Structures are given as C-alpha cells and as structure tokens.
Amino acid sequence: MENISLDYSNSFVREHELRHLEEYISLAHHILHEKKGAGSEYLGWLDYPKNYDIEEFKKVKETALNIRKNSEVFIVIGIGGSYLGSRACIEGLNHSFYNQLCSEKRNGPEIYFVGNNVSSTYIFELLELIEDKSLSINVISKSGTTTEPAIAFRIFREYMNNKYGKEAKDRIYITTDKEKGILKEMSKNEGYETFTVPDSIGGRYSVLTSVGLLPIAVAGIDIDMLMEGAKEGMEEYSALDIDKNYSYQYALLRNILYRKGKDIEILASYEPSLHYFQEWWKQLFGESEGKDLKGIYPSSANFTTDLHSLGQLIQDGKRNIFETTINIEKVRKDIEIKKEQEDLDGLNFLSGKTIDFVNKKAFEGTLLAHTKGGVPNIIINIPEMNEKYFGKLIYFFQKSCAISGYLMGVNPFDQPGVEEYKKNMFKLIGKPGY
C-alpha cells in the first residue's frame, strides 16, 4: 500500500546506532503522551485530528464558502505560525500560479498574505493591487499583541471601513484566543466573527486548527481530507516500534547526526510549490529546538534551482550539514519531451521522456554527489501531494519535532528567545512601558 516512507540508507547512520537510542525514543514518547515533559500544557495538537471542535470546523467550512462567493480577494494577516501553515498548504496543493489564473479557472478569491513583515512598500503595493476588488480579511493572532499583524490590521481596517462602511464588519474575520486579548475585545465591540486558537496549541503547531483551516478552505482545498490525513498520521506515528514509525526514526536520525557535528539541516525539495512548506518546517524546528545554546539550524533549498547557488557549498564546504529531501513520487502534472526534426538544441536524446523523469534523475545524481561529498541524506518519500498526504506530513513533522526536542533536552513548546528583538524594537519605537 502506498504511504509516506523514510529512507536513511544514505545517511551514514548504521542500524545499530538507531537501536542504541531506541530506549530514549520510548522515554520521549511516554513523556510526551503522558504529558510529563516541559511545555506539556501545549499538547493540544497531539490528538487534535481526532478531538477537534466539530462545530468550529463546520463554521470554518460555511464561512469559507461565503467568502469564496462574495470576495475576489482574501487577505490573511498573521505572522509565524499564524500564516506559514496555511500558506504552505495553499501553495503546496493549489495551482502554482493560483493568483494569476483568470477567475473562472481559479474558482475562488485571490489570496494574499500581509502582516508577516513591516515593509511599508509591501503593504502599500498590496493595497494598490486589490483596489476595486471585493475583499474579505482574516486576522490571525493567538496573542493579539504581535506588532506586525497589528499594524497591518490597522491599515486594512481603515481601508475596509472606507470601502464598506458599516458592512466592513461582515467581511472581517478574527482568529484569536477564546476569550482574552485585544482582538477578542475588538471583535465584541465591532461585531466581527471570531474563530478560536485553542489555549493548548502554540502557533507553530496550529495549522490544523482554524488558524490554518479557514484560509486553506477559502482556497478551495478539501479540509476534511487534510484532517483525515493528519488523523492517519496521529495513529501511525504513535507506534513505539521505530521500524514502523518513520516520524520517530526521523527524530532519532537528526539527533544522531547532530551529535556527530551536523548542526545544519537542509530541507530540500525538487518542487518549488513546497517553498512555504519548507518555511513552515523552519519555524517548527527552529523555534522548538533552538534554545539553551543548542539546536540544529533548519535551512531549506529548492533544487535544482539552488544547486546553481548553494550546490557548491553543500558539495565542498564545511562538513557540518545534512540534508533531508522531500521526494514527491508522482507529480501533479508532467510534460513529455517531444522529438524535433532538427535536433538544434541537442535534446533529442530525451525524446519520449518526461520533464519529471529529468527532475528525478537530477535528484538521484545530486544524492550520489552529495553523499560522495560526505553529506548525510535522509529521504522522505511522499506518494503524491494531495490533501491527505499533506495533512499526514504536517503531523509527521509536528510529532517528530516534539520527540526530537525532548531527545535534545529542550522544551519544544516555548520560544523565549523571540522576545529579545521585540523589547529592543518597542523601546526604539517608543512603546509605553519599554
């Protein structure tokens, strides 16, 4: 039966190394599942694919349908875990040029993300782009206090009020804490529809809650199948036997490689549509593990594009890197390379083959080259990129991240280091109290 699988035969990790650490996985598993570890108040995501709020899920689907009907543009305001997961899913599963398609082909609103930076140019030009188009917005912030989305919302709130007057409130959707925070207060005062970020789920683990699901459903993606995949992952990746649990294998492998001095991990992909999935993964692992002077630096590369920029360093640079490659076995679309009468470009040797055949050979060739250069490679095979595998892959990484964090001896659910830049910025911009 087709399934997500992991291949560590090119990782230079031998089987007995996994066996030596098997007991530690078992320990980490129990600490996690029995909620005895650091940050255990943030384990709501663990059984969420089975225990999610059905009423809220229904409301997400109804609201998404409504937005799809009455809006040409949908704006998602949020940063970090409040936008990366939905963007990853939308870009990973939808047409590569979704926003540029004509409306009949797109069959849903154009979707843009803002509030994930403080670039005035970006905000200004987005406002220019959406002029004259019907609009709905979703502001997502668990805390409600994050500066980037707060500033973007102020600008877009004014824009919506000018454009729609009293009806603006029917086009503004807020995803935030159940009862506290500025956004909740504002929603009560203004009459905005709200969605909940569960207390027990931190931002980077929240893609399968309303945080991710509303934008994903607005993009026309089947969120039932997404949850179905996550549920499958939840069951499969709870097995204690590491031979049957690829998520735990991955956690173990990266810890073994880390102890051998490999402190940079590149998540590589040969599909550009996975760019934001890689960004989501970077936050997940970076915020979860990078603390107490420890952590693997999570980076990403899109091949073959980056083979022409980073390839040299990966092949020949300092040997502190390992690669994890996401291999999509069956691509969404393929193109056959045809034979030409005159073989002017010398490519007739490829006639009858497909572009994906070349891509797969590029992957094989790169794997050979990089392993020869001493770069351990872990391969995660995905049969195809559909809703179900996407949901399962999300769960795969969330589970392995929690286990990996416990193996590393850190709290995988807090992010105290993020506050430092904020304090400085607040002081510099004159925020009261700083």
Ligand X SMILES: O=P(O)(O)OC[C@H]1O[C@](O)(CO)[C@@H](O)[C@@H]1O
Which residue minimizes CB distance to ligand X?
203
The two structure tokens encoding residue 352: 């009858």
Measured from the CB atom, is 137 or 375 closer to ligand X?
Answer: 137
User: Residues binding ligand X: what is the number (CB under 6 A)?
Assistant: 14
Among 39, 81, 215, 295, binds ligand X (CB under 6 A): 81
> Quick check: 79 binds ligand X (CB under 6 A)?
yes
- Contact between 87 and ligand X (CB under 6 A)? no
User: Is the CB of 105 or the CB of 180 nearer to ligand X?
Assistant: 180
Least Å distance, CB 234 to ligand X, is 22
Burial letters for 319-345: b for 16+ Cβ neighbours within 10 Å, e otherwise? eebbbbbbbbeebeeeeebeeeeeeee
Separation between Cα atoms, residue 176 and residue 184, nearest integer Å:
7
Give the shortest CB-301-to-ligand X separation in angstroms.
Answer: 23
Question: In angstroms, what is the minimal distance from the CB of 427 to ligand X?
Answer: 18
Nearest-10 crossing angle of helices 223-236, 387-408: 40
> Which one of the spans 135-143, 160-168, 265-273, 338-346 is the region binding ligand X (CB under 6 A)?
135-143
**What residues does 298 pair with on adjacent strands?**
265
Which of 11, 136, 141, 210 is the binder for ligand X (CB under 6 A)? 141
Stretch 36-75 residues interacting with ligand X (CB under 6 A): none
CB of 227 to ligand X, least distance (A): 21
Residue 262 binds ligand X, judged by CB under 6 A: no
Minimum CB distance to ligand X smaller for 404 or for 415: 415
Q: Which of 129, 368, 418, 425 binds ligand X (CB under 6 A)?
A: 418
Q: Residue from 39, 44, 203, 229 that binds ligand X (CB under 6 A)?
A: 203
- Between 313 and 418, CB nearer to ligand X: 418
Cα 25 to chain centroid distance, Å, stands at: 25
Residue 405 as a binder of ligand X (CB under 6 A): the answer is no
399 is catalytic: no
- Exactly one of 134, 143, 304, 354 binds ligand X (CB under 6 A); which one? 143
| One residue of 146, 278, 300, 366 binding ligand X per CB under 6 A | 146
Residue 287 is among the residues annotated as catalytic for this protein? yes
The only residue of 29, 142, 171, 282 in contact with ligand X, by rule CB under 6 A:
142
Catalytic residue among 91, 287, 289, 323: 287
Dihedral sign, Cα of residue 363, residue 328, residue 298, residue 422: positive
Using CB under 6 A as the binding rule, whether residue 80 contacts ligand X is answered as yes
Q: Which residues are marked as active site?
A: 287, 422
Contact residues toward ligand X (CB under 6 A) are 79-82, 141-143, 146, 149, 203-204, 287, 415, 418
